[in-house]
Amino acid sequence: MAAAAQTEMQELAQQRPRRAPGCVVERRQIAAAAPSYVLKDAAGRRYMRLSEEGFFLWQQIDGTRTLRDLCVAYVERCRRPAPAEALRALARLHAEGFLALAAPRGTAPSHPRRDALRRLASLCTCYACLPDVDRRVTALYHALRFLYAALAQAVLLVLAGAGAVAFGWLVLTGAPIPAGTLAHASSLWLASLVLHIVVHEAAHALTCKHFGRAVHRVGVGWYYFAPVAFVDTSDMWAAARWPRIAVSAAGPYANLVLAGVAVLAVLVPAAPAVREALWSFSLIGYALAAVNMNPLLELDGYYVLMDLCEIPDLRARALASVGACMGACLGGRAGAAPASGRALLLFGAASLAYGIAMGLALLLASRAWIGNMVAVWLPHPWAQALGWTLAAAMSLLVVYRLADGLRPRARRR
């Protein structure tokens, strides 16, 4: 067995990986001291971030160097004995489709049980996308390009601001809003939500096209078991900071504009049912904007904050910082952290606390929903038991995913 494993490793070390055809690299426009890069394929459908050392490794891949040669070059470049980092980077390039290489069997995970738990935890987020939509998005942008003119943007900004002021005035003054007529019209709420989501995602896509970037994927899925829609704007990774922020903020901004117009329409005398429908539409818009701008979730607000700080993988680094701090405290090595480190630690602690609270809320809400749903077919005690079991499993996956982020991560290449 040992001889077979040694032979396998020798064969692996002699492989000569080749780049996938048509791949290009762009340097990211960020102010960080260490440069980083974006690797993408010819069609722009796959993207991958590279550090300076990862970019060096990519440059060395020419089809003539073996894996052993690449690891040696990497060690010499980094000036530290880290061949495993090079192997992990090569395995990741292969997994993302940027590298032609036989399956790197020698880099199998050393903790299969932990790896299986991580795959289960990945069920917290799952997405399905449509085929390439860039041509259709481009055509839509050409039809609506006038919305990005300075005058049009000024009008939209005034509508969003005036609507927000009117909404606050109606809430604070207790101005009478017709209620009861449509209180149970779930179809109206669902239609309002769908319209807000469609406009939200379209705003992301159109703003991405406004800055000359491609939009290849749109789709639906769930994020921590809540249904979501998404637009893949990965092509913005190599853009400058403010265009990236504009693309991330475009979705919530569109919801604020729609909600603002609806609130202003509520002030116009109309039938009670119409005013209530407009009020419900505005409530959904403001709620959707607030949820998406919450930086403790990996939604639009998080990406705005990450680009403002120019810290890639902000959430992962913050959670790892919390894990390192906890390990240091348990080991009696706690010490003062620099201001930037304290801010990262604070964000990680807030993300962890919010995630735990979300897991508990998911437990209670899912238990009631699942229990009521299966009570149609099962006796009440069995339905309640099944509801608690499935809800607890979902909550544990959320908590495990957060806890897994506390572990120190190998440096990404």
This prediction's pTM: 0.77
162 is a domain residue: yes
42 is a domain residue: yes
Cβ pair 322, 349 in contact under 8 A: yes
14 is a domain residue: yes
The reported pLDDT for the residue numbered 413 is 41
Confidence of residue 409 (pLDDT cuts 50, 70, 90): low
How many domains is the chain built from? 3
Same domain, 78 and 175: no
Tell me which residue has tokens 């300076």: 52
Q: What is the DSSP string of 196-257?
A: HHHHHHHHHHHHHHHTT-----EEEEEETTEEEEEE--GGGGGS-HHHHHHHHHHHHHHHHH
Same domain, 239 and 272: yes
Same domain, 326 and 211: no
Lowest mean per-residue pLDDT among 45-54, 59-68, 242-251, 371-380: 371-380
Per-residue pLDDT of 214-232, as tens digits, reads 888 888 876 666 677 888 8
- Could you tell me how far CA 113 lies from the centroid of its own chain? 26
Buried b (16+ CB within 10 A) or exposed e, 14-24: ebebebbeebe
Lowest mean per-residue pLDDT among 101-105, 215-219, 348-352, 391-395: 101-105
76 is a domain residue: yes
Same domain, 332 and 377: yes
Same domain, 384 and 398: yes
Same domain, 244 and 195: yes
Per-residue pLDDT of 138-187, as tens digits, reads 999 999 999 999 999 999 999 999 999 999 998 888 766 655 555 556 78
117 is a domain residue: no
Supply 353's token pair: 């606390």
Cβ pair 345, 327 in contact under 8 A: no
Domain ranges, residue 370: 314-405
Per-residue pLDDT of 381-401, as tens digits, reads 766 676 667 667 666 666 666
119 is a domain residue: no
The reported pLDDT for the residue numbered 398 is 65
Same domain, 160 and 258: yes
